[in-house]
């Protein structure tokens, strides 16, 4: 198996602050790669760089052999990378179903004007009456376990479930690589187990995953490999057990303002 994603000497400066510094790593096809580090280590910035939210100051990002360093967020998604956000960014005035339907549109081949054309000459009277599309969306809602909220406005759903909705929405774009930014924050212990199952189920279907997580139980349980960031630099990489006992990592967590939950 080859690498699906590679970053080479990735660096991001915000003014005088270097949020990500010279980070190189690769993510193997089908792998779950955990990304950990103390607060402010640059984990979310790294995901923002990969997903195209903003361009890096230096370095390159390669996805499936293609240079995506300068691609915009929407292009990155159509190439096969989907993401979730640390603080959920769902479409709060749309229903759960519509959130997923919005993500299922084939944007690789269709721009706005061909969608305008479609709305008059192709689709059923309304998207929510398109049986085929709704069946797919429903199966995704079911997969993440929120079918009960199908017709609920997303803004009215419990927070923990909006995290799942965001995952369903990301999956609806049929990604080859999924970037998860703290999928377990704000969940109670019972919900945590469900979340672990869900992530493993997604991975079992062949989707590679890069995951940021503070909850050690989750990250140690599901990651095939770990990368540790500290002040924007990669300080360790390898098997979870090995990394966990690495003296450098221990010091980073204990020395810094650690908020890792053991």
110/197 with CB nearer other proteins: 110
Candidate ranges 67-75, 144-152, 194-202, 228-236; the one touching other proteins (CB under 8 A): 67-75
77 binds other proteins (CB under 8 A): yes
Candidate ranges 62-70, 85-93, 204-212, 225-233; the one touching other proteins (CB under 8 A): 85-93
| 234 to 11, 23, 101, 228, 231: CA distances (angstroms) | 11, 6, 38, 6, 9
Candidate ranges 33-41, 107-115, 235-243, 245-253; the one touching other proteins (CB under 8 A): 107-115
Pairing of the two strands 225-230 and 32-36:
parallel
Angle, alpha carbons 9-11-14 (nearest 5°): 175
201 binds other proteins (CB under 8 A): no
For residues 246 and 250, give the distance between their C-alpha atoms in angstroms, rounded to a whole number. Answer: 6
Which residues fall within 8 angstroms of residue 250, CB to CB, at 6 or more apart?
none
Residues 7-46 that bind other proteins (CB under 8 A): 14
Q: Contact with other proteins (CB under 8 A): which of 6, 11, 29, 128?
A: 128
141 binds other proteins (CB under 8 A): no
Using alpha carbons only, how large is the chain's radius of gyration in Å?
Answer: 19
Q: Contact with other proteins (CB under 8 A): which of 66, 89, 148, 201?
A: 89
Q: Contact with other proteins (CB under 8 A): which of 39, 70, 73, 238?
A: 73
| 178 to 10, 31, 47, 170: CA distances (angstroms) | 19, 11, 10, 8
Shortest distance in whole angstroms from residue 40 CB to other proteins: 15
67/118 with CB nearer other proteins: 118
85 binds other proteins (CB under 8 A): yes
Give the interface size with other proteins as a residue count (CB under 8 A): 46
- H/E stretch holding 202 reads helix 189-204
For residues 78 and 70, give the distance between their C-alpha atoms in angstroms, rounded to a whole number. Answer: 14
74/201 with CB nearer other proteins: 74
91 binds other proteins (CB under 8 A): yes
Contact 85, 181 (CB under 8 A): yes
102 binds other proteins (CB under 8 A): yes
Contact 50, 24 (CB under 8 A): no
223 binds other proteins (CB under 8 A): no
Shortest distance in whole angstroms from residue 201 CB to other proteins: 21
């Amino acid at each position: 198996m080859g690498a699906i994603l590679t970053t080479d000497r990735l660096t991001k400066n915000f003014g005088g602050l270097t949020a990500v510094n010279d980070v190189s790593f690769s993510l193997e096809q089908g792998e779950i790669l955990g990304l950990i580090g103390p607060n402010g280590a640059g984990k979310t910035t790294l995901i923002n760089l990969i997903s195209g939210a903003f361009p890096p100051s230096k370095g390159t990002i390669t996805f499936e052999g293609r240079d995506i360093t300068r691609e915009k967020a929407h292009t990155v998604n159509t190439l096969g990378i989907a993401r979730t956000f640390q603080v959920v960014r769902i479409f709060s005035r749309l229903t759960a179903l519509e959130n997923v339907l919005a993500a299922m549109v084939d944007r690789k081949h269709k721009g706005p004007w061909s969608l305008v054309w479609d709305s008059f000459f192709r689709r059923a009277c309304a998207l929510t009456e398109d049986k085929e599309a709704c069946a797919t969306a429903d199966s995704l809602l079911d997969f993440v376990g929120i079918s009960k909220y199908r017709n609920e406005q997303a803004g009215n759903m419990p927070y923990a479930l909006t995290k799942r909705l965001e995952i369903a929405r990301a999956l609806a774009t049929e990604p080859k690589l999924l970037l998860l930014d703290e999928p377990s924050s704000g969940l109670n212990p019972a919900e945590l187990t469900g979340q672990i199952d869900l992530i493993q189920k997604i991975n079992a279907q062949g989707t590679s995953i890069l995951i940021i997580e503070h909850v050690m139980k989750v990250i140690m349980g599901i990651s095939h490999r770990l990368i540790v960031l500290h002040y924007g630099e990669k300080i360790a990489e390898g098997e979870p057990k090995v990394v966990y006992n690495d003296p450098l990592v221990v010091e980073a967590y204990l020395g810094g303002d650690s908020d890792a939950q053991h």
